[in-house]
Each structure stands twice: as structure tokens, then as C-alpha cells.
Structure 1
Amino acid sequence: MTVFLVIGGIGLVVLLASLVFGDIFESFDIGEGGFSGIAAGVGAVVFGASGVIALAQDLSTLWAYVIGAGFAVIAFLVAQGLVKRLSDTEDPPPPPLDGAYGMTTATTGPGGGEVRLEGVQDLEARLAWSDEQIAAGTRVVVVAVSGSRVHVRPV
């Protein structure tokens, strides 16, 4: 019974760590989107719980391992499939803005302004600033990004 409790406990720690801190196996690059810490944690927890339940029903230790492993594999595959489906629905990261061209829509200077960038679909217009006053309607290039604001200079 101790083996099932230890593996189930480790699985619970892995599961909680993956939920709180993000997928802990993400940096290992196993497969394409590959191996989920959440699914591994679920599998280990299910292995431990089903093994303990099997032993509590007076089944032999061999049957407890078979039952635990069977349910763990099923739980892992189901959880991995769900994690994969959820990760496939994530939005892609926004495109890099450094070097993007656009047009000022308002007078832009050190105090601020506004620019419309070409080829950027996430925002209609962006807050901008520049080192010098730039008149509205001037073609500009992004030289730096700070949060959602862009630092521009005339082309």
C-alpha cells in the first residue's frame, strides 16, 4: 500500500505544481507539445488511488498493480488529450513590433501621441511617443516597445 500512496502523493505534487506554476515538463520539448505535467500528475494520482482501492477490496498486490496501471494509463491519455485540445485553442503570440512601419494619426512627441501600424491586426491604433514632435500623417517606424506603447521615429 505504501508504494501506491507514495506514487499518488508524488502525482498530486506534480499536478498541483503544474497547475500553479505552469506545465513543469514544458521545457523538456518531448514530442510536439508533447508531455504534460498535468496529465502525468493525473495518471500518478489515479494509479495511487486505484491501487489503494484495489488493496482495500482484498485483491492481491499483483491485481492492485494491474488495476492501478490500467486506470493510470487511461487517465493519462484522457488528460493528455484534453490538455492538447486546450493548448490548440490558444491564441498565437502577437507579432513583434520592432521595425514595423505605420502612420501617425495624431501629433506625436515625447508626451505621447498615436500611430496606426501596417500589418498589425491586434489593435486598430497604438499609443506612441517619439523623441521629437512628429506631425499627424507622417510615416514612422517603431524603434522600441514598452507594454502596449511604441516608440517611433520618422522614416
Structure 2
Amino acid sequence: MLPFLIVGGVGLAVLLISLIVGDIFDHFEIGDGAISGTALGIAAVVFGASGVLTYTSGLDTVWAYVLAAVLAVVAYLIAVVFVKRLTKSSDGEPTSAVGLGGVTRSTVTPAGGEVSLDGPHEVERRLAYADDTIAEGVRIRVVEHSGTRVKVVAD
């Protein structure tokens, strides 16, 4: 029973790391995302839990390993499908903020500042910069969008 507990514990650690820090296998281009830390963690937890349950129910040790391995493979495949589906749905094409109007929420300088934009998908403040200093509370317009930052000019 100890191997099931060890594999399950390691799987739980991998799963927690993948959920908190991010998928640890994203940095390796293996099989176009076929290896997922989250899916491996789920598979190892299922292997450990199902192995312990089948072992304690009185089945032979060989059958406990076989059943645990089959359930772990099934859990891994299901998890990979769900992880791929979730990453595709969350990685939508970002909308451009160029042309949107808004208001400065702090003084915006070439070094930075904050603005609130009037777009339909804009619910938070954005980091902004400008060629010239723009005071707080001034209406602005976005002329460039780079990542999460926007370049603004006074309206």
C-alpha cells in the first residue's frame, strides 16, 4: 500500500504546484501540449487513491496495480482534454484598445501612469504612458496598445 500513498502524495504535490505556479511542463515543447502537469498530477492522485481503495478491499496486489493504472490513464486522458479545452477558451484574441477614450486616474508621464478606458471590455485601470505629461482627470485617447500598457494622448 505504501507505493500507492507515495505516488498519490507526489501527484498531489505536482497538482498543487501546477495550479498555484502554473503548468510546469509548459516550458517544454513536448507533443504539442500532450504533457500537462495538471493532468499528470490528477493521474497520480487517481492512481494512489484507487490503488489504496482496491488494495484495502481485499483484491490481490497485482489487480490493485492493474486497476489503479487503468483508472490513472483514463483520468489523465480526460484531464488532458479538459485542460486543452480550457486553455483554448481562455486564450481568446485580445481586443485592441487603440482609439478608445478614457480618463487619466493618475498623472501619466513617459515613465507611466494609470487610465480608465471607456471600452465595453474595460473594467479595470490600465497602465499607460505618454510622450508628454498628462495631469490626473484629463480626457485621453489611446494611440498605441502594447501588451497590457497603452500609449495615450490628451483629447
| TM-score bin, normalised by smaller chain | 0.5 to 0.7
Relative to the length of structure 1, the TM-score reads 0.66
- Please give the secondary structure, in 2, of the residue aligned with 1:149: strand
Distance 1:94-1:8 versus aligned 2 partners, 3 A rule: same
The count of corresponding residues between Structure 1 and Structure 2 is 132
Q: Which residue of 2 aligns with 1:62?
A: 62
CA 146–15 in structure 1, closer or farther in 2 if over 3 Å, else same: closer
TM-score for both structures, normalised by structure 2: 0.66
- Per the alignment, residue 20 of structure 1 pairs with 20
Residue segments in structure 1 that go unaligned for 5+ positions in a row: 106-110, 115-121, 134-140
Q: Distance in 1 between matches of 2:84 and 2:150?
A: 33
Letter of the 2:150 counterpart: R
| Range with greater deviation from structure 2 (72-81 or 24-33) | 24-33
* Residues 114-125 of structure 1 mapped to structure 2, 5 A cutoff: none
Larger radius of gyration: 1
Whole-angstrom CA distance in 2 between matches of 1:22 and 1:96: 26
RMSD: 3.7
Q: Deviation string for 1:46-89 (max 9, x for gaps)?
A: 10111111110111110011000010011111111110110111
Aligned match of 1:39: 39
Tell me if 1:77 matches 2:77. Answer: yes
SS at match of 1:28: coil
Match of 1:129 in 2: 130
Ranges in structure 2 where 5+ consecutive residues have no aligned partner: 102-106, 109-114, 116-120, 135-142
29-38 vs 84-93, which deviates more?
84-93
